[in-house]
């Protein structure tokens, strides 16, 4: 097992350093099998979201695992879920969490995140509203003044429906504004981090303000890549470092992230890879610095949905 297998959040609760990402739009059913496999392998950290459309399957896997393993309690698991952009109104924040809890079959989650800082309008079917240009309509007032949204998140902690709250995809600028009025500091900022997008400034800001960064797509996105840099896992330079260190490339990348001081959320529905991802080694300084040198040459966001939204300020600062 890795040397530092948990982090302590700013509310005092522990979070496993490696979690299972459960998003797979092409294979929602796979989330059940992957979750069961991961729990059997020893994972105790699951990353979910209402957007993923598979919370019921993840919940079924959790239920069956706990039923067949009486030595493992619900409190031994760390379950995260997220609210989507069109549900940032105060009443919708609670409704969304209640729906997630119902689907997951849980009384509480360990962490509840705002999936993006962008608030959007709802249509008549309670879905994200699109404008005539085919892009989602942004609620600019609520996006730029998120106090009511965060206050609703804080209320859910008081109600015991979540143990911690946090954000995802928030920039330094937006975090600074949030911290200026928040009664509860976000425990986590879940962001894209990998050697092609090291996100140095944002990682440093979060760590300096008691906010744990969590890396989604820590192996590089395999879905939304339309950049000339290509896939992280196809990098010849990174493959050579992994080969010379006797590691799988995925293990090298996860170990690099852990050595930088944040949690990692690899996604795999392959049993062998699920097991490998749970046990990244402690990286030597030589191998860490080798990956760092590659990361220093890159700053390419691979997961970018900004063109789907009618809002010029989707990403409001530069990352590196």
Q: Give the pLDDT mean for 47-55.
A: 95
Q: Give the pLDDT mean for 47-64.
A: 96
* Gap between the Cα atoms of 252 and 184, Å rounded: 35
What pLDDT is attached to residue 66?
Answer: 98
What pLDDT is attached to residue 2?
Answer: 39
Residues β-bridged to residue 130: 136
pLDDT tier for residue 283 given thresholds of 50, 70 and 90: very high
Q: Which residue has the higher pLDDT, 200 or 316?
A: 200
What pLDDT is attached to residue 61?
Answer: 97
pLDDT tier for residue 3 given thresholds of 50, 70 and 90: very low
Percent of the chain with pLDDT over 70: 95
pLDDT tier for residue 320 given thresholds of 50, 70 and 90: low
What pLDDT is attached to residue 13?
Answer: 98
91-126 pLDDT tens trace: 999 999 999 999 999 999 999 999 999 999 999 898
118, 1, 112, 3: which is closest to 50 by C-alpha? Answer: 112
236-274 pLDDT tens trace: 999 999 999 999 999 999 999 999 999 999 999 899 999
Q: Which residue has the higher pLDDT, 316 or 288?
A: 288
Active site residue 7: no
Percent of the chain with pLDDT over 90: 86
Mean pLDDT (the chain, rounded): 94
Q: Which of 142-151, 219-228, 269-278 has the lowest mean pLDDT?
A: 219-228
pLDDT tier for residue 80 given thresholds of 50, 70 and 90: very high
> For the whole model, what pTM was predicted?
0.94
Phi, psi of 136 (to 5 degrees): -70, 140
CA 65 from chain centre, in angstroms, equals: 23
Residues β-bridged to residue 47: 21, 80
> Is 53's pLDDT higher than 70?
yes
Residues β-bridged to residue 214: 190, 263
What pLDDT is attached to residue 303?
Answer: 87
Q: Say which residues have a Cβ less than 8 Å from residue 50's Cβ, sequence separation at least 6.
A: 81, 82, 83, 84, 87, 96, 99, 100, 115
Three-state SS for the chain is CCCCCEEECCCCCEEECECEECCCCCCCCHHHHHHHHHHHHCCCEEECCHHHCCHHHHHHHHHHHHHHCCCCCHHHCEEEEEECHHHCCHHHHHHHHHHHHHHHCCCCECEEEECCCCCECECCCCCECECCCCCECECHHHHHCCHHHHHHHHHHHHCCCECCEEEECCCHHHHHHHHHHCCCCCCEEEEECECCECCHHHHHHHHHCCCEEEEECCCCCCCCCCCCCCCHHHCHHHHHHHHHHCCCHHHHHHHHHHHHCCEEECCCCCHHHHHHHHCCCCCCHHHHHHHHHHHCCCCCCCCCCHHHECCCCCCCCCCC
What pLDDT is attached to residue 221?
Answer: 75
Q: Which residue has the higher pLDDT, 230 or 79?
A: 79
Q: Which of 7, 52, 116, 136 is catalytic?
A: 52
pLDDT tier for residue 224 given thresholds of 50, 70 and 90: low
Name the CA radius of gyration of the chain, rounded.
Answer: 19
What pLDDT is attached to residue 223?
Answer: 62
What pLDDT is attached to residue 4?
Answer: 45
* Gap between the Cα atoms of 108 and 88, Å rounded: 19
How far is CA 242 from each of CA 228, 252, 279, rounded to the nearest angstrom?
22, 6, 15
146-197 pLDDT tens trace: 999 999 999 999 999 999 999 999 999 999 999 999 999 999 999 999 999 9
What pLDDT is attached to residue 222?
Answer: 62
Domains and CATH numbers, the chain: 13-308 (3.20.20.100)
Residue with tokens 């009384």: 107
């Amino acid at each position: 097992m890795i040397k530092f297998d948990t982090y302590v959040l700013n509310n005092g609760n522990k979070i496993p350093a490696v979690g299972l990402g459960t998003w797979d739009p092409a294979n929602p059913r796979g989330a059940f099998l992957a979750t069961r496999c991961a729990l059997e392998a020893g994972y105790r950290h699951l990353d979910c979201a209402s957007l993923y459309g598979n919370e019921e399957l993840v919940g079924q896997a959790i239920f069956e695992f706990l039923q067949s393993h009486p030595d493992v309690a619900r409190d031994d698991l760390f379950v995260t879920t997220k609210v989507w952009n069109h549900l940032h109104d105060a009443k919708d924040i609670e409704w969304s969490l209640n729906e997630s809890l119902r689907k997951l079959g849980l009384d509480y989650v360990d962490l509840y995140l705002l999936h993006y800082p962008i608030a959007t309008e709802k249509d008549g079917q309670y879905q994200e509203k699109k404008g005539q240009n085919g892009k989602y309509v942004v609620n600019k007032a609520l996006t730029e003044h998120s106090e009511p949204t965060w206050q609703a998140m804080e209320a859910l902690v008081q109600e015991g429906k979540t143990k911690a709250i946090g954000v995802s995809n928030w920039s330094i600028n937006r975090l600074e504004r949030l911290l200026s009025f928040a009664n509860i500091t976000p425990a986590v900022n879940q962001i894209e981090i990998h050697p092609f997008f090291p996100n140095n400034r944002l990682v440093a800001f979060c760590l300096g303000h008691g906010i744990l960064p969590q890396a989604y797509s820590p192996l590089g996105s395999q879905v939304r890549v339309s950049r000339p840099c290509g896939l992280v896992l196809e990098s010849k330079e990174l493959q050579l470092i992994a080969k010379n260190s006797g590691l799988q490339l995925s293990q090298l990348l996860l170990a690099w992230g852990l050595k930088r001081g944040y949690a990692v959320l690899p996604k795999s529905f392959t049993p062998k890879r699920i097991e490998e991802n749970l046990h990244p080694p402690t990286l030597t300084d030589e191998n860490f610095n080798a990956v760092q040198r590659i990361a220093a040459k890159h700053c390419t966001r691979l997961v970018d949905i900004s063109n789907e939204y009618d809002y010029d300020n989707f990403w409001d600062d530069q990352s590196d």
